[in-house]
Structure 1
Amino acid sequence: MLKICSKDNKKIKYAARLKQKSFRNQEACFLIEGKKMLEEALKHPKLLRQIFIEAELAPEYTELSQQHPEWECYVVDKRLMKHISDTETPPGIVALCQIPSWSREEFLSKNAFLIFLDRIADPGNLGTIIRSGWALGADGILLSPDSVDPFSPKVVRASMGGIFNIPLLLDVSLDELKRLKQIGYQFFCTSMQARQEVFSLDFTGPSLLAIGSESQGIRSVIEEICDINCKIPIKPGVDSLNAAVACAIIINEAWKQRQGFILS
């Protein structure tokens, strides 16, 4: 492992710039932080590019760097780690990864359960939805053009490794959604005014769940193409559920149904 001591080093400058969305998009790379995220990245070795490790943690990763010379491993001090990291208290490990890519055709080829996120703005909510989708068997997540960047540091941290494990399709247009309907997908959306409850619905066929922004819900053009408007029953007097919580409840219901459907 090579040691880097200066903020002016090209590798350090490059990594720090990946905290900017425009540079992430340009380079198709993003940063992950911490041992847990690195462990998940190691399961996808083709995506891993560089690892920056604080000196006190370096001995733990000497063997790893020797086994994988294709990964650039650098030892840095706490000052440089904080410069690269997006957190106030850096975990001591930052890695640079290639943004995973999935073909749009993959989303059209099977009996899938998909999540469409319309103008989701909160990074924590998006990261939690990615994590829940991964844990509960969703086949992919589609995002509208004006949703938060899924590869921003806060989203990546909240995903807890899900960012590597569930297909993401960005900048999904209305025409692409309509194409899914044409090949047999049933569209679901949620509303507190809906009559049907989530737990009475059938999610075993090709399904798409549309979840709207935290403050405005889904756009009317999206609601118009949904087949079923449903609600999650909650205690009277409570206004609504957080978008990520509501999404997880519905994904869990779909997963239970689809597991039973697959096993029967």
Structure 2
Amino acid sequence: MLQSIPKKLLKQIRQLRQKKFRHEYGLFVISGLRAVGLALESDTLRPKYLLVEKQQMAILNQLPAFNGEAIYALSPSEFEYISDEKTPQGIALVAYLPEETLSQITTLPGQLIFLENINDPGNFGTIVRTAAWFGWPLILLGTNAIDPYQPKAVRASAGAIARVKILRDISLKTLTQLKTQNHYKVIGTTVHEGHTLPAFKPQPSEKYLLLFGSEAHGLSGEAAQLCDLKLTIPKFGTGESLNLSVAVSLFLYQFTALNSKRDNGEN
């Protein structure tokens, strides 16, 4: 049943732009028709409120069933008040922040991504989108990494934030335990050293943990010491480095495509 939104709740939803309020309320916002649709189909996200602009009511017919607490109809000015977008689509979902921890995951995937000191929301959102595309279901974030549920990062994921599990505040000590206890082969990504990515052939029998550092500084010395092997993308032209999300895309393609070929009996 559609309701008018209380002013207090409207203010609280606007406050979710800020990290401290996202953590205080345990909520974040997903905006846009496609992203909201993917979130409502997700088994991992719990929806709380669905927000729709009054002039966009027909958009509700394009969405999966909503099983949250309430659907609120907002005026154009109210929707503009809560949105940080220049041209919002008039549909948004307020969902609970995922609370799952590493210790609660009973079966870890055979291929993992760890992001150290990643702070660009556009890069991060694109990495989440790429991970979903290639079927990597879990991303680990280091202790100094981005808040993955800030609006720009969520928007850049194009809805994939609802399809990929993201575990925050993973220390290098925890990463070391993960490597030892679960027998992952740790691959460090570098700009200037290591074996070239095209020459590396992932083995289906191996479990891999890929480590990516920031564009500016790469992996820390401590993270680099965890690596069993370092790989780099060869440069054939000019430039100091690749955009991080582009580099992650190339790595995920290499690891996913080669393993897929082997699974299908191809050489």
> Would you call these one fold, judging by a TM-score over 0.5?
yes
* Equivalent residue, structure 2, for 1:122: 120
CA contact (8 A) 2:4 2:72 kept: yes
* Equivalent residue, structure 2, for 1:197: 196
Whole-angstrom distance in 2 between the partners of 1:13 and 1:244: 34
SS of 1:226's partner is: coil
Which segment drifts farther, 253-262 or 29-38? 253-262
1:88 aligns with 2:94: no
1:188 aligns with 2:223: no
* Equivalent residue, structure 2, for 1:151: 149
CA contact (8 A) 2:47 2:67 kept: no
Which segment drifts farther, 78-87 or 233-242? 233-242
Task: Determine what percentage of the aligned residue pairs are the same residue.
Answer: 29
Deviation at 1:200, TM superposition (A): 2.0
4+ runs deviating over 4 angstroms: 62-65, 67-70
Residue 130 to residue 38, structure 1, CA distance change in 2 (3 Å): same
Cα RMSD after superposing both structures: 2.2
1:231-246 matches, cutoff 5 A: 231-246=232-247
Number of residues of Structure 1 aligned to a counterpart in Structure 2: 260
In structure 1, stretches of 5+ residues that fail to align are none
State the Cα deviation string for residues 80-130 of structure 1 (Å, max 9, x = none): 101111212222112101122334136673451111100001000000000
CA contact (8 A) 2:134 2:256 kept: yes
> Structure 1: which amino acid aligns with 2:145?
S
Whole-angstrom distance in 2 between the partners of 1:69 and 1:237: 52
State the Cα deviation string for residues 166-208 of structure 1 (Å, max 9, x = none): 1111000111111122131111112232241112223331111
Residue 69 to residue 162, structure 1, CA distance change in 2 (3 Å): closer
* Equivalent residue, structure 1, for 2:48: 49
> Structure 2: which amino acid aligns with 1:163?
I
* Equivalent residue, structure 2, for 1:227: 228
TM-score normalized by the length of structure 2: 0.90
CA contact (8 A) 2:47 2:68 kept: no
Residue 112 to residue 82, structure 1, CA distance change in 2 (3 Å): same
* Equivalent residue, structure 2, for 1:213: 214
SS of 1:171's partner is: strand
Whole-angstrom distance in 2 between the partners of 1:229 and 1:238: 21
